[in-house]
Amino acid sequence: MTTKPTSNGSKASTQQKTQVTTASPSTPVTSAKGISTQLKSQISSFDLDIQRKGSLSPIEIFIDSLADVETDEERDELYQSIQEYLRKSEQFEQEADRILHLRQKYLSLVQARKQEVKRLNALASEAQHKADQIEERILDVMSILHPNETKYSFPSFEMKSKMVSNVVDVDYDNIDWEEIPLDCKEVSVSIKKSMIKNHLKHGVQFQGVKMRSHRAYRFE
């Protein structure tokens, strides 16, 4: 800030008044016009949430609150609240029907997002394929023009290369698995439930495997 001499010879700062507002860490700093923009946004968001939830039934509010749950304990407590509310409700059919409509909305959203994921994955694969093709064409020409170069500069890019030895390639269509040592194989094991069920039905028992019955529901 520049200074200039006053009539009595002393220096004074340019006449510019600065208003300093202090606030505790939990209190937003407000401007001279009043409430801060950040606080206005928070209040507006809170009011909209209250208005929106005002149009929801208690059970819908329970379901809507699942998105804010952070711990397993909170989730279990909320599940218990939902079950308790439905169990004691005098209009169980109506309440259940409302959240079944909500369930249907979520299922439709799931399908829509799965389709969107497929679309984006297809676009990503297409872009990756084009990028790979460009790289391969450049490297094909480089292997002819500069086969022994370990470093090569382009106007905007730089290429480096090195010899890599002992690379293993596997042709899975022609491999003879009997010849491969056991310690060289990666084996993934899972249970064929349809097959092991026959053994269980005939009284054969396996540790960690059991057969049970339960009622299956389907909403239409």
Query: Which of 107, 62, 97 shows the shortest CA–CA distance to 83?
Result: 62
- pLDDT tens-digit series, residues 20-69: 333 444 444 433 344 445 544 544 544 445 445 455 666 667 777 777 77
Query: Which of 13, 6, 43 shows the shortest CA–CA distance to 28?
Result: 43
Structure tokens at 40: 């206005």
Percent of the chain with pLDDT over 90: 19
Banded model confidence at residue 214, pLDDT cuts 50, 70, 90: confident
1 has pLDDT over 80: no
Q: Which pLDDT belongs to residue 74?
A: 82
Q: Which domain holds residue 91?
A: 37-115
Number of domains in the chain: 1
For 107, 118, 119, the CA distances from 115, given in Å and listed in that order, are 13, 5, 6
- Tell me whether residue 51 is in a domain: yes
- pLDDT tens-digit series, residues 116-143: 999 999 999 999 999 999 999 999 999 8
Cβ–Cβ under 8 Å, residues 118 and 124: no
Residues 40 and 45: their CA atoms lie apart, in Å, by: 9
- Tell me whether residue 54 is in a domain: yes
- Tell me whether residue 194 is in a domain: no
- pLDDT tens-digit series, residues 80-100: 877 887 887 778 888 788 778
Most confident among 24-28, 65-69, 102-106, 166-170 (mean pLDDT): 166-170
- Alpha-helical regions (H) of the chain: 37-54, 58-65, 72-88, 92-145, 193-201
With H, G, I as helix, E, B as strand and everything else as coil, classify residue 164. Answer: coil
Residues 69 and 76: their CA atoms lie apart, in Å, by: 10
Report which DSSP code applies to 68: G
- Tell me whether residue 125 is in a domain: no
Q: Which pLDDT belongs to residue 59?
A: 67
∠ CA 213-216-218, rounded to 5°: 175
Q: Which pLDDT belongs to residue 126?
A: 96
- Tell me whether residue 218 is in a domain: no
Residues 141 and 120: their CA atoms lie apart, in Å, by: 32
What mean pLDDT is reported for the chain?
75
- Tell me whether residue 168 is in a domain: no
Q: How many CA atoms lie within 13 A of 141 on its CB side?
A: 6
- Tell me whether residue 204 is in a domain: no
Strand partners, 209: 206
- Tell me whether residue 30 is in a domain: no
